[in-house]
């Protein structure tokens, strides 16, 4: 999308991960993703998708290799430094049940900016604009999150992920619980908001039909072979 | 936000939280209540008599003597003859003496025969003298001065006529019906057994027993009140007497002299020492109660942790969302600690309220039935220590689910294992 000579959003080299107990392991030779690129990662369950996402958002630490997110060496940072990096630079959207049931819609959206220690009043006004742009009207903001439909909940999750203006948005099958109409609306609004924020997107799914929204796509099998997105 | 999360998360689980809160409230109230009662009971006990240097009675154990002379509990084994009493109080070191004659009662309240020295020399708490709330001290033989509790509970006013019973039971079969007494004075409340005593003169005790022999009226020899007054009413014996000395230095000397008194076997006790011994005995029970209430508290706290642990499974999603939004595992640990502290703090507040209300309702009954005068002042230094200890204990116990949340957060990452 952009050809500015900037630091890549994601840059990983010879990344290895396995559990102490042995057995299964994940090895990623190389992947570079530039700012603003949207990548679709396709893979069946068990192919290491979840591990990849955990590595990318700094929840798990790679056993060996290098991983830079936004220029920061994630493989060297302490766990709390990785947590604050995630709070500030990485937004995460899950498959479903993204919201804390006892918090209001607005508070759910504000969670990420809270952990990114951003200014409260500023965050509130930005969260309101963001929610509005995502089609969530004012009357919903103070309702408990559980009162919303699944589609609405997923949009609140996008608002939360994008609120701290992250460089990277990671989505783990966020449309799997949506019907096709909702799914299309969701994809459009998510990618539009990501673009508006200049955000890099990694979208993981096994739904082949979603590839139409992405310029770049990779299979997990290609990823482990070190094929670059094109 | 952390506070909001803790608060709303608790509210979200209000069913189990309510039960936890209830059990904690009850157990904390129990603990604070027992602690409060024991300090108050101790105060109440030790303040019953003050300024008295020695209590003298017939030879017996010091606790027995203390109990019947001061607390009106139990009975004397023998009496002190009047001549012996007269001889002892002539001792140059003795400043004052209050004779006590027990053995009769009025509707469950003990009757104490004494003289007017009682009203001028008896001291309780911090050397407080007895004060007459109404009327005056007794002057004539058939006058009586009532303790505050007796007058209040039985509804007696000045100049009312009352009858005494022989023996000390609440229901007595032998009454001194023929010789009624007139209420001439009512003492102000003292918070000691004085409140539950009917005071008459020594002469009155002698008078109502003139026509009695061996605990029963002598048949065919009934004397009227007027006839009795004509007789010699000098007491033949008294039950015990309290002594105030000119110099406290002489206490032990005089105690030894009385204990070695040739004419009659007597015992002199130091009220402070006897009270301490009595309290030591009761202290065992009191410590046991405290231990039990501590265990009850521990059980309630463990119950709270158990429900927290049980809820951790259903809260995995919540934890994963917080982690994804950028929360460090420490944040989850602190969140759980905060929830526990909130519940504990809330329980402590409601426990204090519960304790206050129950004490308020039970105050009169405790005073009437046990002679325990319990203040409503439950917030004091020791209760603050307890509060601190309870908070600390709950925080320590909360590390169990806290650490669990922390470790699960590290191990599970963003995946939610349902």
- Interior CA angle at A67 toward A66 and A71, to 5°? 115
Mean pLDDT of chain A: 84
User: pLDDT grade, residue B147 (50/70/90)?
Assistant: very high
Which residues of chain B does A57 touch, with a Cβ-Cβ cutoff of 8 Å? 324, 414
CB A48 within 8 A of CB A26: yes
- Residue B189: its pLDDT value, please? 85
User: What's the whole-number mean pLDDT along residues A78-98?
Assistant: 83
Residue B145 has pLDDT above 90, yes or no: yes
CB neighbourhood size of B310 (10 A): 12
Percent helix, percent strand, percent coil in chain B, to nearest 5: 55, 20, 25
Percentage, residues of chain A above pLDDT 90: 0
- What confidence tens digit (pLDDT) does each residue in B100-121 have? 999 888 888 889 999 999 999 9
Cα B344 to Cα A69: distance, rounded to the nearest angstrom: 43
User: pLDDT grade, residue B417 (50/70/90)?
Assistant: very low
User: pLDDT grade, residue B172 (50/70/90)?
Assistant: low
- What confidence tens digit (pLDDT) does each residue in A130-143 have? 888 888 888 888 88
Our CA-based measurement puts residue B327 at a distance from the nearest CA of chain A, in whole angstroms, of 6
Burial B104-116 (b: 16+ CB within 10 A, else e): bbbeebbbbbbbe
Our CA-based measurement puts residue A102 at a distance from the nearest CA of chain B, in whole angstroms, of 6
Residue A114 has pLDDT above 60, yes or no: yes
Q: Cα B29 to chain center, whole Å?
A: 18
CB contact under 8 A, B325 and A112: yes
Euclidean distance between the first and final Cα of chain A, in Å? Answer: 11
CB contact under 8 A, B322 and A111: yes
> A-B interface: how many C-beta pairs under 8 angstroms?
76
Burial of A122 by CB count in 10 Å (0-12 exposed, 13-18 middle, 19+ buried)? exposed
Residue B313 has pLDDT above 90, yes or no: no
- Residue B82: its pLDDT value, please? 94
Burial B25-37 (b: 16+ CB within 10 A, else e): bbbbbbbbbbbbb
**Residue ranges of A 141-160 with Cβ closer than 8 A to chain B:** 160
- Residue B323: its pLDDT value, please? 84
SS3 state at B187: strand
- What confidence tens digit (pLDDT) does each residue in A22-72 have? 667 888 888 888 888 889 988 877 777 878 888 888 888 888 888 888 888
Q: Determine the residue among B326, B330, B418 to mutate to test chain A binding: the one whose Cβ has the most chain A Cβ atoms within 10 Å.
A: B326
Which residues of chain B does A62 touch, with a Cβ-Cβ cutoff of 8 Å? none
Report which secondary-structure segment, H or E, holds A170: strand A168-172
User: pLDDT grade, residue B381 (50/70/90)?
Assistant: confident
Tokens (6 digits) for B342: 């909130």
Percent helix, percent strand, percent coil in chain A, to nearest 5: 40, 25, 35
| Bridge pairing between strands A72-73 and A25-33 | unpaired
B139-to-A129, B114, B117, B182, B183 alpha-carbon distances in Å: 93, 12, 12, 11, 11
- What confidence tens digit (pLDDT) does each residue in B14-25 have? 998 999 999 999
Our CA-based measurement puts residue B316 at a distance from the nearest CA of chain A, in whole angstroms, of 11
Q: Which of B75-79, B127-131, B186-190, B366-370 is predicted least confidently?
A: B366-370
Length of chain B: 418
- What confidence tens digit (pLDDT) does each residue in B396-406 have? 999 998 888 88
Which residues of chain A does B413 touch, with a Cβ-Cβ cutoff of 8 Å? 50, 54, 59-60
């Amino acid at each position: 999308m952009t050809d500015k000579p900037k630091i890549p959003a994601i840059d990983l080299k010879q990344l290895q991960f396995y559990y102490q107990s042995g057995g299964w392991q994940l090895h990623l030779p190389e992947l570079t993703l530039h700012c603003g690129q949207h990548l679709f990662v396709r893979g069946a369950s068990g192919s290491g998708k979840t591990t990849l996402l955990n590595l990318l958002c700094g929840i798990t630490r790679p056993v060996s290799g290098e991983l830079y997110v936004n220029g920061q060496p994630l493989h060297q940072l302490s766990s709390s430094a990785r947590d604050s990096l995630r709070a500030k630079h990485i937004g995460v959207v899950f498959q479903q049940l993204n919201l804390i049931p006892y918090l209001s819609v607005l508070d759910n959206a504000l969670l990420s900016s809270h952990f990114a220690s951003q200014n409260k009043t500023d965050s509130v006004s930005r969260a309101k604009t963001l929610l509005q742009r995502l089609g969530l009207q004012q009357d919903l903001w103070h309702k408990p999150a559980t009162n919303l439909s699944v589609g609405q909940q997923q949009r609140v999750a996008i608002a939360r992920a994008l609120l701290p203006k992250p460089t990277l948005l990671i989505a783990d099958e966020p449309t799997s619980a949506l019907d096709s109409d909702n799914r299309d609306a969701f994809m459009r609004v998510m990618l539009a908001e990501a673009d508006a924020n200049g955000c890099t997107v990694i979208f993981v799914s096994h739904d082949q039909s979603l590839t139409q929204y992405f310029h770049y796509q990779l299979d997990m099998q290609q990823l482990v072979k070190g094929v670059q997105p094109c | 936000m952390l506070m909001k999360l803790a608060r709303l998360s608790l509210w979200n689980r209000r069913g189990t939280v309510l039960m936890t809160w209830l059990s904690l409230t009850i157990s904390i109230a129990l603990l604070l209540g027992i602690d409060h009662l024991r300090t108050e009971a101790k105060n109440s006990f030790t303040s019953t008599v003050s300024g008295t240097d020695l209590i003298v009675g017939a030879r017996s154990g010091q606790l027995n003597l203390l109990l019947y002379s001061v607390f009106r509990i139990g009975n004397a084994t023998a009496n002190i003859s009047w001549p012996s009493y007269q001889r002892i109080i002539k001792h140059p070191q003795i400043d004052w003496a209050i004779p006590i004659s027990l053995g009769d009662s009025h509707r469950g309240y003990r009757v104490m025969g004494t003289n007017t020295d009682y009203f001028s020399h008896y001291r309780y708490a911090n050397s407080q003298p007895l004060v007459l709330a109404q009327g005056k001290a007794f002057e004539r033989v058939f006058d009586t001065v009532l303790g505050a509790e007796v007058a209040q509970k039985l509804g007696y006013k000045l100049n009312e006529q009352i009858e005494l019973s022989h023996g000390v039971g609440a229901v007595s079969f032998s009454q001194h019906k023929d010789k009624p007494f007139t209420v001439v004075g009512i003492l102000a409340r003292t918070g000691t057994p004085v409140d539950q005593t009917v005071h008459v003169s020594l002469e009155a005790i002698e008078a109502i027993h003139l026509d009695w022999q061996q605990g029963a009226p002598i048949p065919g020899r009934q004397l009227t009140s007027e006839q009795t007054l004509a007789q010699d009413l000098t007491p033949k014996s008294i039950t015990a007497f309290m002594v105030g000395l000119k110099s406290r230095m002489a206490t032990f000397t005089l105690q030894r002299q009385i204990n070695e008194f040739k004419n009659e076997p007597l015992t002199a006790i130091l009220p402070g020492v006897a009270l301490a011994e009595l309290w030591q005995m009761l202290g065992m029970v009191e410590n046991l109660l405290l231990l039990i209430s501590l265990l009850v508290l521990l059980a309630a706290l463990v119950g709270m942790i158990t429900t927290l642990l049980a809820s951790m499974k259903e809260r995995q999603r919540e934890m994963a969302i917080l982690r994804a939004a950028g929360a460090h595992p420490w944040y989850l640990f602190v969140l759980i600690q905060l929830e526990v502290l909130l519940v504990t703090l809330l329980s402590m507040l409601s426990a204090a309220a519960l304790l206050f209300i129950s004490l308020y309702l039970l105050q009169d009954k405790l005073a009437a039935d046990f002679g325990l005068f319990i203040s409503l002042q439950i917030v004091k230094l020791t209760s603050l220590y307890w509060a601190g200890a309870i908070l600390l204990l709950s925080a320590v116990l909360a590390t169990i689910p806290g650490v669990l949340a922390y470790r699960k957060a590290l191990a599970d990452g963003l995946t939610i294992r349902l």
